[in-house]
Amino acid sequence: MKLLVALGLTLAFVAVLLAVYYLHVLYFPVEVVLYSAILDGLIATLVIALLLLGLRRRLPFTGFEKLLLIAFWALSGYAFAISVPTVLDRSLSFYILEKLDERGGGIKLASIPDVFTKEYINEFRLVDVRLTEQLQSGTITIDNGCVKLTDRGRRIAEISSFIRKNLLPKHRLLMGQYTDVLTDPFATGAGQKIGYECQ
């Protein structure tokens, strides 16, 4: 009995989540896709949690079981936010598949770098999207035409760099060869001044 009720409530959560997400993306402003989708998950969790609490005398759950259900729905909303809209918004892998489909099913291997640099960045307004996300996250500022790290951005960059260098695969398959080049992608240009730094 408990399992069926929990399953029913969870299906209701999924329906509310999808409805809230759909209405949000159609009718409301979205600054950052990830944050917006997380908010949708929290709204859906709140709606079903209120239903759960409103029906508390009719439902066979203990207080702890109710808490577990609410936590499960919140985590499910978070998983949805990361796994569906955010992945689709950011994924170069999905872009490759969509671009191959758009071009009739095939693109010359030698032309793929041009597709990324000449088409992907412009078609998906990649620079605008990522700068907007970083501004909304408080990791950068833009002053007098100069993009600068905030203290928060610097801390996140340091953590990211540490994880990349120490906790990512040292033997990753890249086009038929196992390598560790992606654990320190800036190594070849370390310390060089390119000329676009802010004065």
For the chain, the domains span 2-90, 91-137, 140-183
Q: How far is CA 156 from CA 138, 140, 160, in A?
A: 11, 11, 6
- Look at residue 173 in the predicted model and tell me its pLDDT: 94
pLDDT band at 56 (very low <50, low <70, confident <90, very high): confident
- Look at residue 54 in the predicted model and tell me its pLDDT: 86
Beta strands in the chain (DSSP E): 140-143, 146-149, 172-174, 177-179
Residue pLDDT, tens place only, 143-196: 999 999 999 999 999 999 999 999 999 999 999 999 998 898 888 765 566 778
- Look at residue 196 in the predicted model and tell me its pLDDT: 84
C-alpha 173/C-alpha 176 separation (Å) is: 6
Instruction: Read off the pLDDT of each residue in 38-42 and give the average, rounded to a whole number.
Output: 97
